[in-house]
Amino acid sequence: MSKKFTLTDSEPRIREFLDLMISRAGFALSYAVSAGETVHPDFENPDVLVRFSGQDVDLLLANKAELLLAIEQLTTEALGMAPEQHSLLCFDANDHRMLRIQELRMSAQAAAERVKKTRTPFHFSPMNSRERRILHLSLRDETEVRSESVGEGPIRQVVVVPADLKVLPEPIRPPRPRPEDDTPRGRRPFGGGRDRGRGPGGGPGGPRGPRRDGDRGRRF
């Protein structure tokens, strides 16, 4: 059975870590630590909830709450929580978690319907263990399809497959960064004159030299 993280035991350590992190990072944030809420008890049932507010909340929620989730992960590590216990501590801001659960449930159902029609596996983007769990729980009553986690570490992801599929597909790896273009500046590989209806450097096929008409001489 997972250890229960009570406010009495965990709040002082949570505050010690977050106060130091917020101070060092220079964030304009405040937070409140409370007993966990069970808006969706079948999907999340945390023992402790940390709710952020303040001027920099938008930074926490940008790019699918990437920074909020990163701070949550760092806090669980600072507390020494085992991976299977991470769901006992939840970070939130502007009710992001509730909205995210609804989004994941709808995405899971849409993926299931797609796999039923096409019988082609559907890969979700890599997610943390908590969000993968929500996808799995959303599909637990399905009989024609099933969900599995594939991949390791940062590329671990959920794949929805036909229920009778024997061999799971490989995880989809993020594309590697493209090498920097070594084409000399001011020259395009296929050259060419002016683009139709545009001045020098104005569009596809035209030279990519400095533009100085109306852009104060900046190079693009």
User: What average pLDDT does range 196-207 have in this prediction?
Assistant: 43
Query: Is 139 inside a domain boundary?
Result: yes
Using the 3D structure, point to which of 127, 144, 162 is the last residue of a domain: 162
Taking residue 130's Cβ as centre, other Cβ atoms within 10 Å add up to 20
Task: Let me know whether 112 and 78 are in one domain.
Answer: no
Query: Is 206 inside a domain boundary?
Result: no
CATH code of the domain in which 81 resides:
3.30.300
Query: Is 118 inside a domain boundary?
Result: yes
Task: Let me know whether 125 and 89 are in one domain.
Answer: no
3-state secondary structure of 54: coil
The number of folded domains in the chain is 2
Q: Give per-residue pLDDT as tens, 89-138.
A: 889 999 998 899 899 999 999 999 999 999 999 999 998 888 898 999 99
Task: Let me know whether 39 and 90 are in one domain.
Answer: yes
Q: Give per-residue pLDDT as tens, 146-180.
A: 999 999 988 999 999 999 999 999 999 877 767 65
Does position 181 have pLDDT exceeding 70, yes or no? no
Task: Let me know whether 54 and 121 are in one domain.
Answer: no
Q: What is the pLDDT of residue 64?
A: 86
Q: Give per-residue pLDDT as tens, 2-53.
A: 455 677 788 999 999 999 999 999 999 999 999 877 666 677 778 899 999 9
Domain containing 114 equals 99-162
Q: Where are the beta strands (DSSP E) in the chain?
A: 30-35, 48-53, 89-93, 122-123, 145-150, 157-162
Task: Let me know whether 80 and 104 are in one domain.
Answer: no
β-pairing, 89-93 with 48-53?
parallel
Task: Let me know whether 22 and 86 are in one domain.
Answer: yes
Task: Let me know whether 132 and 90 are in one domain.
Answer: no
Query: Is 103 inside a domain boundary?
Result: yes
CA distance 12 to 106: 37
Residues written for the chain: 220
CATH code of the domain in which 124 resides:
3.30.1370.50
Query: Is 199 inside a domain boundary?
Result: no
Task: Let me know whether 146 and 86 are in one domain.
Answer: no
Report pTM: 0.65
Query: Is 204 inside a domain boundary?
Result: no
Write down the residue that tokens 């999340």 correspond to. 44
Using the 3D structure, point to which of 77, 94, 111 is the last residue of a domain: 94
Task: Let me know whether 63 and 124 are in one domain.
Answer: no
CA distance 45 to 90: 9
Query: Is 110 inside a domain boundary?
Result: yes
Query: Is 191 inside a domain boundary?
Result: no
CA distance 76 to 73: 5
Using the 3D structure, point to which of 143, 162, 181 is the last residue of a domain: 162
